[in-house]
Chain A
Amino acid sequence: SAVISQKPSRDICQRGTSLTIQCQVDSQVTMMFWYRQQPGQSLTLIATANQGSEATYESGFVIDKFPISRPNLTFSTLTVSNMSPEDSSIYLCSAKGGAYNEQFFGPGTRLTVL
């Protein structure tokens, strides 16, 4: 199974600023994803990070707000741009792999926007 690390683990940011979250996988994976999860709520898929091409965004999420990079098969970044308090959430990186092609998750980044 893949091991995923994320940084930062948490941050407190001011309204109007941007934060870039990094995700590193310890092995090459074909698929990487970014999720958002409010405490006690379900996972919401933001986008699929495609290696070498633009990310595929889910309904309600746009590239200008959540630009994503995926320069290789082990690394991706998610930027939360022009933040507002509504962006306060846990952001999770995920990758697909393993014996059953299941998804693995990073430990998450807890973002608070003041």
Chain B
Amino acid sequence: GQNIDQPTEMTATEGAIVQINCTYQTSGFNGLFWYQQHAGEAPTFLSYNVLDGLEEKGRFSSFLSRSKGYSYLLLKELQMKDSASYLCAVGETGANNLFFGTGTRLTVIP
């Protein structure tokens, strides 16, 4: 099993920084993925981590600690358009599909 856990909802203020955490358990870790999904739209790929550490991509960064089974997505300089669900997904050795968490619904308020 994958046991992917992330908070259900978060609220943050425009211009601020928010960190969305994800913990997972897997028998054969093969990458950690973050996706963004706006209401009524398909998920879109944001980031990928396979080694420990921080990957930065513009306003978004993603961190991974394999020993702790932990990742976070960091969103800086929040904008209203960042209001969306953020899905944590884990790749597992021997599995074709990614295993998705239930998603964190982020609301950005003025």
Residue A92 is within 8 A (CB to CB) of chain B in the complex: yes
The total number of A-B Cβ pairs within 8 Å is: 47
Inter-chain CA distance A104–B102, complex, in Å, is 17
A13-21, A41-49, A70-78, A81-89 - interface stretch:
A41-49
Residue A96 is within 8 A (CB to CB) of chain B in the complex: yes
Residue B31 is within 8 A (CB to CB) of chain A in the complex: yes
Query: Majority SS of interface residues in chain A?
Result: loop
- B43 and A98: CB pair below 8 A? no
Q: Whole-angstrom distance from the CB of A101 to the nearest CB of chain B?
A: 8
Give the number of residues in A that approach B within 8 Å (Cβ atoms). Answer: 21
Q: Whole-angstrom distance from the CB of A9 to the nearest CB of chain B?
A: 11
- B42 and A102: CB pair below 8 A? no
Please encode chain A, from 3 to 31, with 1 for each CB lying within 8 Å of some chain B CB and 0 for all others: 00000000000000000000000000001
Q: Whole-angstrom distance from the CB of B23 to the nearest CB of chain A?
A: 16
Inter-chain CA distance A100–B31, complex, in Å, is 9
Q: Which residues of B pack against A, CB within 8 Å?
A: 31, 33, 41-45, 48, 50, 87, 89, 91, 96-98, 100-103, 105
Q: Which residues of A pack against B, CB within 8 Å?
A: 1, 31, 33, 40-43, 45, 48, 92, 96, 98, 100-108
